[in-house]
Structure 1
Amino acid sequence: MLYIIIHPQDSKIAVLPIKDNSREPAFYGTLILKKTPKGARVGKFRVKRGEKEEFRAPDEFIELLRLADRILIAEGNEESEAGFKELLSAYQLDYGYTSTCRLCLLGGRYTTVGNNSISFHNEQVCEECAKKELVREARSCRIGRHGQERLIKILLGIRNLDRVLAMLNHEKLDSGLTRFDTIEANKVDRSIKVKDLHIHDELKKILLHQLDELMPVQALSVDAGLLDGKNQLIVSATATGKTLVGELAGIQNILNKRGKMLFLVPLVALANQKYEQFTKRYSSIATTSLRVGTSRIIKGTKGIRTSLSSDIIVGTYEGIDFVLRSGNAGTLGKIGTVVIDEVHMLEDKERGHRLSGLIARLKFIAPDAQFIYLSATVGKPQWLAEKLGAALIEFEERPVPIERHLIFSPEYEKKRLIERLAAQEYNKTSSKGFHGQTIVFTNSRRNCHMLADSLTIKAMPYHAGLSYSERKRVEERFGGGKLPVVVTTAALAAGVDFPASQVVFESLAMGIEWLTIREFQQMLGRAGRPDYHDRGVVVLLADPEKRFGKGDTEDEIAFRLLRGGLEHFGVEYGEDEMLEETLSNTVVARRLSDIKKIDELLLGEGDLGYLLDKLREYGFIEKTNAGFYPTKLGRIVASHFLNVEQTSLIKSAVLKGRNALDIITELETLDAVYFRYASRLSDALGTDIPTRVFGAGLDIVYSADGISKLKENLRRTALDFAKEFMACKCKDSPYCGCAQKKFSARVIELCAEGLSPDGIIAEITGQYGVYAYAGDMLNYLDQAARNLEAVELIAAIYGKNELSMRARELREKMEGC
């Protein structure tokens, strides 16, 4: 079977001889017609096979037409088509028409189009050509393999190449196509009417003001023995009502005289939020206190209760553990309920061992207490439940559906997209009567401020570096529906409750590290609240060209996060971590049998005998007839959360008689210091300057060559900084750390002179052109005061009384005593 496919073009006609329904022609021919008195005739006929091309006699073309079983004309240039028909008529040859892929014809192939064709520019093309065109455009936008596969899947679903290509053009985004998937809302029938609960009448009265029936996860927990004092691990998505499970158990136990409730969280901001909620909700039946390690620099916020005698104590993990490590466990009184929120922090490399130690110590001092553990993201829930000795209540669904969208976006387009997405969301009103509000996650505090300030829609930054009052103002405005957008960092907002309907990921990184699947799932869980919204929306803005080092690009990371399951890291802690927990255990329990009891409750495993021997070797504990007893040094180490290395540094420096200020700046420095005029410095120096002062930018800005390029006002502040903090003779200068230590010492001195954190920030900004956030400044000064106290106490142990006195004087000046 021989078909001759004719494709009329502007000044020529393509000729494709097709044998036996093949896509590839026997050769690719080009016909040029000439006008004669008798009509159009063959002028030139050229044949190309592979790389070889040659002209053929006009008669050969006519002979080819006569040999053909069918001559089929594809749509093309009308004038060329009319001329070719004249030629056929002259030789009395019949013809027909064919619907073909024009892109194939242009490429020298033949493909018919029909039911499997794809719409493109008001015509139909074949799947292969549509895919090639799509991949070509995707590659020009630097979209990786997974992104290309995603686009092709959408293409084969809707069979319209124009709509898919519009996904690469942010002016024409189609939310129906950017939607990656939808996590459906659950429709679990199990529920319990509040009026039918077997709880204290006072608690029932309070609950009935809020709800008529329990949410499914709450009902499942009650069915599993929550009100009978059973220990439980609740693993359920954000906004499913986990917190109320802990409250039900805790308040019921308080009213039944079983003891107080400890409600423990990892973040100060979250503790503040829970304290305010519980104070408002339960003030008629219980007193509530807050224990987060009250600031030494700024005395407690007016009106906040901190007494350990309260019925409900809301605290951070470290805030309550300080009480235990200081040997004051008895001041907590009778404990009836312990609620551990965000219990997946047990797998955190930095803080996991401390949470494990805290849980073990609390179980030891309150063996009859009910323990409720809460988390939205646990890699192996059954494993963790067994480790904690708790019944597992696992509830995988959500009260409202979540749409997850993926948009490929270069960095410079993201701000405009966020503005459009946030404005569209805020203009919507849910069936509950609430405007849609947006949380935007970015990867740095600087970006929080820059993005919030640059958006045309009203937005405010929120991160751990802000002061309590600044964070509080954002929480109140957002909670009241008056603020359309909050821009926050991934690290903080994963735990704080903002009633957002939409979450936008401006970045898929935290600092310069890509998000883990657990972090991502924690954050996307912020979208959609059953009491506020009908659905949640999550949008990932992925830049195909963004990468860190030689790793994956942001669009590849987006697919890993969207498709990934939770990792399980386990709870293997190092020797230093186990030494810290074992020492703290000896503060709580003196007898060896009791120390063993607590050790068996730890999730991490270590050789207890070896650990106790090491603690004796370091002088942290002494052996007694009954067991072990912490030394004065050991008590200081435990209560100040010092590790072996830090303790060794302090002890060595004390014995050498070093200055107290030198010791504490050797121990810890203020890292979060930023260039006030980073963009102006970058312009003046002709290079992109990092915003952090103590890093790669230190040598660039404060070198003689760098300072000489600055304008007068910038040069003055840079010279002041260099003269005061960079005059050292270290071989590794300016990367020796001396500048950072000297700067931190100056900050401490300003505090001792009576300046508040805000006052110190104003001083360093005006004099040196650098700044810090109020929250970071306060946290550093608080830690410096605690470290001074450790130096003071350790110096006294070793008879260095003058050093001890100097450390105390400096600390008291900082604290305003």
Structure 2
Amino acid sequence: MYPMLWILFAEKGPKWTVMIILDKNKEPLWTGELELKENTAGFRPHKIRILKREGKELSDEEYFQSKDFINLLKKANRIMVASGGSPDREKELSSLLCAYQLKYENVNICRFCRMAQRFNFINKSSVRYHKEKICPDCAKDELRKVLKNSRQNMGDTTVDFFYETLLRTKDFEKTVAMLSAGRLDPEVTKYDTVKSVTAEKLTGIKKLPIHKRLKNLLLSKSETLLPVQSLAVDAGLLLGKNLLVVSATATGKTLVGEIAGIENILNGKGKMLYLVPLVALANQKYDQFQKRYSEIDLSVSIKIGAELIKTKSTSAMRKTLDSDIIVGTYEGIDHILRLGNADSLGKVGTVVIDEVHMLTDPERGHRLDGLIARLRYTFPETQFIYLSATVANPDYFAKKLDSNLVVYEHRPVPIERHLIFAQEHEKNRLMAQLIQDEYAMKSSKGHRGQTIIFTNSRVNCHTIAGALQSQGIPAAFYHAGLNLNERKVVENKFGRGEIPVVVTTAALAAGVDFPASQVIFESMAMGIEWLSVSDFLQMSGRAGRPDYHDRGIVVLMPVPGKSYLSGTKETEEEIAIALLKGGLLEEKFDYDEEEQLEELLASVSVTSSRLDLSKIHRSMFGSFSENMMLIKLQKFKFIELLGKEIRQTRLGQIASAYFLSVSKTYMIVDSIAANISVLHIITNLDFFTAATFKYAEQISKDLRMNLPSRVFQGAFMDIIFDGSNLKDVSPKYQKLLLNFAADMFVCSCAESPYCGCAERKFSEKIILLRTKGLEPIEIIRKLEDDYGISAYAGDVFSYLEDAVRNLEAIELIAKTVKKNEIAAAAKEMRLKIQG
């Protein structure tokens, strides 16, 4: 078969560029320069110089014979003349072609290709470049130059993303505009839209076979169930079936669990346990359920830990287990089981596990896995409802959880997802603009647009909120370091639409209910770890609530080239693109030895049968080296193996109930044997390290160096311990530093100040202040007055709660080893801390 021969003419000043093209190849066989000359017969070839052959420039002059060129024209399957040239010049070429009875056609070709002596048509795939169109290959070449000149240190993945965007939009200027987008522009920044679907069959509430009190309560809000709720009813929700409900945030899946729980309560099948991963979320659900279900005379309690510190803000909470609804954290309910007190929960009709995707959490996943298995074993007739917005392999999860699967993939409101590449110094201005634009809008339901900003640290929460406030925007920060009252103030103000923006940490607010229309990802990380796709989908799902908004907005603001850990190859903008592209990876459940030991020991709290113990662990996601771990638990004197039976020793009971590792348990045992004081024992178990120096910035200016704000970081410890530089610090701050050094750094350790004594003494200070009756916020004020050191009330509260749990463990272990004086001292201190 003969090759397809095309010949293209393109005007080049007084001459013509000629391209000899075989089989439609973009790289011509050869490219030449044609000079025409007029004689008595008309215009004829005068010189045809070959400039390039098979893509290579010719160094020596080479000419093509005129007669051979005419023969080549006669053989051509197609003769083309590039449009856009001079009409007079085209007449000259036409004269030549007509003389040999050759036809030609005008075509649009890429100007950039022509200048590079290549060939490509302008067609539907071409890219708009300023006021003309060029081929995709040339557009990519030009884009490559712009990206290189931007000096934004982009990774290969990001460059590929820009290429994809270029080919998708077919607009060079709009693609390049992504590098410096000043505000949301659907034509420039929008990545995609997650569409809503409204044409779905909804189940009428009046027709539901449910208790009258529940029906009336539901009818006071709506006449129909939402789609995911209707699907759950079809899957056996009202028939006592276990369900795994996978649906985006704001689709109404929470009410699925509530309907099952309340219906079972009203029909005498038992109370509802509603379990969540976060204390903040438990507090919020407790408040919501109290308001909602007091209308039908149901009682609500909260269980969020082994013991609860009594403060003015928490003393009013109902904590008894004798309630219709118990809202608890995973650990709060697990503590009851680990104590061997499952009977104290009474008759349980429904267990709702919210945010069940936490099974895949690398730190807490094994505990949730074990908790679910123990609950299923303890309450075999109970209905289990598992809720999640994202699960990588829902069919596998449903099978493992012995549940019917309900998947609802659509949102009730659409979400626009935008990507803005921003430099660090531009972010606050950009975010301020986005917040103001959103707050100025009102939905058809009458609600202002409000924003959640996710960032990767508490410090950034305060910094960003402060920067926005300086621009006149009422902004609030929200994180686990705040106490309950502080968090509630923010939640209530935001809920009433009084503040346009909340800045929060990714780890905390993914599950807390803020009715936002816009979510901004200021960072692509949690701490120093990149966000997972699952976390991202959970958090972005906060944008757009059906009762408030007509649509949601999600904005990612990565800094090109930024990373949080040295040695990581991914950069922030590459992570942002990967998050948008999605695709959940299947999770692995590989538990290390400590985790296997903990879960096996915890499960012995609910059964003494080795057969049943194996049954519990076969139902878990993680695999266990059961026999080997049991032998190790026996060696540690945590259990006794008695044929087909297994029992916890008293030491094992305490370790299990108080979430103590083997090493911490024996640290307590050895310390009690050595008659170490109770205060020393608890502070050796856990230091309080979340302290910051309030005046670090001012001291940095005095010393002309950049000091970290964390008190127990190396640079700050060196300055205080050395003391030689303190003369350069202003007297006010010098006194505070000297007070701290005098109280914390007096020890005889060779490794001082890195021996741990300073951290232990500071932790003791917090404990002792609490034993004098000070509230967490009062403890912080005292530390600020004495040392200029500050902390978050929530962190102090958590530390004191851990201290209470450890003190109770110390008390019980001391009793076990007949050290009654230490047991009494631990009890006395525990009661003082509890308040």
TM-score, normalising length from structure 2?
0.84
- Shift in CA distance, 132/678, structure 1 to aligned 2, threshold 3 Å: farther
Counterpart in the other structure of 1:781: 800
- Shift in CA distance, 706/391, structure 1 to aligned 2, threshold 3 Å: farther
Corresponding residue SS for 2:351: strand
1:633 aligns with one of 628, 633, 651: 651
Q: For 1:368-447, what aligned pairs fall within 5 Å after superposition?
A: 368-447=381-460
1:218 aligns with one of 229, 249, 256: 229
Q: For 1:673-712, what aligned pairs fall within 5 Å after superposition?
A: 673-699=691-717, 701-702=719-720, 704=722, 707=726, 709-712=728-731
- Shift in CA distance, 115/806, structure 1 to aligned 2, threshold 3 Å: closer
Conserved 8 A contact 1:466-1:776: yes
CA distance in 2, matches of 1:629, 1:360: 19
Corresponding residue SS for 1:503: strand
1:146: Cα distance to partner? 2.8
Counterpart in the other structure of 1:794: 813
CA distance in 2, matches of 1:127, 1:611: 61
Corresponding residue SS for 1:475: helix
CA distance in 2, matches of 1:604, 1:18: 70
Counterpart in the other structure of 2:674: 656
CA distance in 2, matches of 1:605, 1:117: 55
Corresponding residue SS for 2:557: strand
CA distance in 2, matches of 1:811, 1:334: 31
Corresponding residue SS for 1:397: coil
> Aligned partner of 2:438: which letter?
E
Counterpart in the other structure of 1:533: 549
1:742 aligns with one of 761, 773, 782: 761
2:202 aligns with one of 188, 191, 208: 191
The 10-residue stretch of structure 1 (287-296 or 255-264) with the greater mean CA deviation from structure 2: 287-296
CA distance in 2, matches of 1:6, 1:811: 92
Corresponding residue SS for 2:406: strand
1:442: Cα distance to partner? 0.2
- Shift in CA distance, 668/160, structure 1 to aligned 2, threshold 3 Å: same
1:172: Cα distance to partner? 6.5
The 10-residue stretch of structure 1 (686-695 or 663-672) with the greater mean CA deviation from structure 2: 686-695
CA distance in 2, matches of 1:99, 1:329: 80
Do residues 573 (structure 1) and 591 (structure 2) align?
yes
1:785: Cα distance to partner? 2.2
CA distance in 2, matches of 1:156, 1:138: 16
1:686: Cα distance to partner? 4.7
Conserved 8 A contact 2:313-2:484: no
Q: For 1:334-345, what aligned pairs fall within 5 Å after superposition?
A: 334-345=347-358
1:408: Cα distance to partner? 0.8
Counterpart in the other structure of 2:324: 311
Do residues 262 (structure 1) and 279 (structure 2) align?
no
Counterpart in the other structure of 1:550: 567
1:235 aligns with one of 233, 238, 246: 246
1:439: Cα distance to partner? 0.7
Conserved 8 A contact 1:166-1:173: no
1:481: Cα distance to partner? 1.6
- Shift in CA distance, 599/53, structure 1 to aligned 2, threshold 3 Å: closer
Conserved 8 A contact 2:177-2:188: no
Conserved 8 A contact 2:478-2:502: yes
Conserved 8 A contact 2:358-2:368: yes
CA distance in 2, matches of 1:149, 1:598: 48
- Shift in CA distance, 287/131, structure 1 to aligned 2, threshold 3 Å: same
CA distance in 2, matches of 1:280, 1:746: 40
CA distance in 2, matches of 1:566, 1:73: 49
Do residues 324 (structure 1) and 341 (structure 2) align?
no
Counterpart in the other structure of 2:48: none
1:118: Cα distance to partner? 4.5
CA distance in 2, matches of 1:23, 1:572: 54
CA distance in 2, matches of 1:711, 1:365: 63
Conserved 8 A contact 2:200-2:227: yes
Corresponding residue SS for 1:754: coil
CA distance in 2, matches of 1:134, 1:268: 49
Q: For 1:135-150, what aligned pairs fall within 5 Å after superposition?
A: 135-139=144-148, 140=150, 141-150=152-161
Conserved 8 A contact 2:18-2:33: no
Counterpart in the other structure of 1:40: none
CA distance in 2, matches of 1:52, 1:719: 80
Counterpart in the other structure of 1:518: 534
CA distance in 2, matches of 1:235, 1:189: 18
CA distance in 1, matches of 2:400, 2:409: 21
Residue deviations 1:737-791 (CA, integer Å, cap 9, x gap): 3332222122212222332211111122233232111001111011112212222
CA distance in 2, matches of 1:581, 1:3: 79
2:511 aligns with one of 495, 500, 503: 495
- Shift in CA distance, 302/646, structure 1 to aligned 2, threshold 3 Å: closer
- Shift in CA distance, 713/108, structure 1 to aligned 2, threshold 3 Å: farther
Corresponding residue SS for 1:679: helix
Conserved 8 A contact 2:395-2:405: yes
1:591: Cα distance to partner? 4.6
- Shift in CA distance, 181/450, structure 1 to aligned 2, threshold 3 Å: same
Corresponding residue SS for 1:587: coil
Aligned length: 781
1:130 aligns with one of 133, 139, 154: 139
Corresponding residue SS for 1:320: helix
CA distance in 2, matches of 1:277, 1:537: 26
2:663 aligns with one of 625, 629, 645: 645
> Aligned partner of 2:403: which letter?
A
- Shift in CA distance, 468/116, structure 1 to aligned 2, threshold 3 Å: closer
Counterpart in the other structure of 2:491: 475
Conserved 8 A contact 2:82-2:109: no
Do residues 202 (structure 1) and 190 (structure 2) align?
no
CA distance in 2, matches of 1:401, 1:634: 52
1:542: Cα distance to partner? 1.0
CA distance in 2, matches of 1:177, 1:196: 48
- Shift in CA distance, 649/117, structure 1 to aligned 2, threshold 3 Å: same
Conserved 8 A contact 2:452-2:516: yes
> Aligned partner of 1:502: which letter?
Q
Q: For 1:588-607, what aligned pairs fall within 5 Å after superposition?
A: 588-607=606-625
TM-score, normalising length from structure 1?
0.86
CA distance in 2, matches of 1:607, 1:751: 43
Counterpart in the other structure of 2:37: none
Conserved 8 A contact 1:698-1:734: no
Counterpart in the other structure of 2:774: 755
> Aligned partner of 1:792: which letter?
E
> Aligned partner of 2:567: which letter?
K
Conserved 8 A contact 1:292-1:318: yes
CA distance in 2, matches of 1:203, 1:632: 45
Counterpart in the other structure of 2:736: 717
Counterpart in the other structure of 1:361: 374
CA distance in 1, matches of 2:668, 2:187: 61
CA distance in 1, matches of 2:322, 2:341: 13
Gaps of 5+ in 1: 8-12, 30-46, 89-96
2:784 aligns with one of 762, 765, 778: 765
Conserved 8 A contact 2:161-2:577: no
Counterpart in the other structure of 1:10: none
1:642: Cα distance to partner? 1.0
Gaps of 5+ in 2: 1-6, 35-50, 74-78, 93-105
1:440: Cα distance to partner? 0.5
Counterpart in the other structure of 2:480: 464
Counterpart in the other structure of 1:621: 639
Conserved 8 A contact 2:720-2:738: yes
Conserved 8 A contact 1:291-1:315: yes
Conserved 8 A contact 2:671-2:681: yes
Counterpart in the other structure of 1:285: 297
> Aligned partner of 1:133: which letter?
E
CA distance in 1, matches of 2:84, 2:665: 85
